[in-house]
Structure 1
Amino acid sequence: MNNHQPAAIIPFLTVHDGKKAVDFYKQAFAANETSRYDLPGDKISAVLDIAGATIYVGDEEPEFGNLSPAKDAPVPVRIVLKTMEADIFFERAIAAGAVAICPMTTEADWRMGKLKDPFGHIWELGYEL
């Protein structure tokens, strides 16, 4: 057992269609799928690397309380993707079906934009100036 591993917080995004979500994140954010687990009922769970950051993506599992956000409901958690490629990723995400909430803009010492992906998750993309 390695007692020297740093702590990590890794978002696990629950979605209605895992395969489509993985395809979206690849197209929008140049995600690299590092592993995929096939689950019963044509469901998946996948690990993605986006610009050096890790996220998990998986299909809904209502029996375990894992539900995707409703597309028209408020979302209490935002994913902040801090990357110098924010402008490019923002444009690609919109082209792939995301909805802009706040366009890419420069505020004080940040360049940032905010969008909702097709699976109901809110993303803030940006970088420090």
Structure 2
Amino acid sequence: MSGSGRLGGMSEPPVISVMLIVPDAGAAVAWYRTALGATELWNLGGVAGLSIGGAAFFLHQVNPANPAEDSPDGVTHVRVEVFCDDPDGFVERAVAAGAVGSAVVDHQMPWGTHRQGGFTDPFGHKWSVGDRSPLR
């Protein structure tokens, strides 16, 4: 990869996002909208695009015919990271909507104090929520 940020001759750099597998896409869309303030970008029924603060993520309903599209059933090996101005409020809103949360606390990092907590959503996905300090 050259210093230009291009990969394989593409004109724009890649974008990384996540697609969360959920047992009921409709219920998940409703929950993420209510609990996290997500905006619905599009919805095809079993697959939907959402956005939180301009960061897109996607939902895909479990597909029994495809083992790659199976719900985590409470166990997931991926953690979604959210960086925002009010991590306490973000976690509180998710917990109020049914997520299981961990307190937002101060962590001393090489760049200074980083406030971070998190929650597990009703679909088994783990979310870490912190201030924007690691991005600076």
Query: Same-fold call, TM > 0.5?
Result: yes
Cα deviation, 1:86-127, whole Å, max 9, x if unaligned, reads 222111100101001x21111112111121000000000111
1:59 aligns with 2:61: yes
Give secondary structure in 1 for the equivalent of 2:88: helix
TM-score normalised per structure 2: 0.82
Query: What fraction of aligned residue pairs are identical, expressed as a percent?
Result: 33
Cα deviation, 1:18-44, whole Å, max 9, x if unaligned, reads 111111111111100010112xxxxx2
Matched residues in 2 for 1:17 and 1:110: separation? 34
1:85 maps to amino acid: D
Matched residues in 2 for 1:59 and 1:5: separation? 30
Cα deviation, 1:58-78, whole Å, max 9, x if unaligned, reads 11012122011112x3x2110
1:69 aligns with 2:72: yes
Aligned residue among 94, 104, 119 for 1:115: 119
TM-score normalised per structure 1: 0.86
Higher relative contact order (CA 8 A, sep 6+): 1
* Alpha-carbon shift at residue 82 of structure 1 (Å): 1.1
Aligned residue pairs total: 120
Give secondary structure in 2 for the equivalent of 1:62: coil
2:57 maps to amino acid: I
Match of 1:104 in 2: 104
Show structure 1 runs of 5+ residues with no match: 39-43
Match of 2:44 in 1: 37
Show structure 2 runs of 5+ residues with no match: 1-8
Runs in 1 of length 4+ with deviation above 2 angstroms? none
Matched residues in 1 for 2:89 and 2:37: separation? 10
Higher strand share: 1
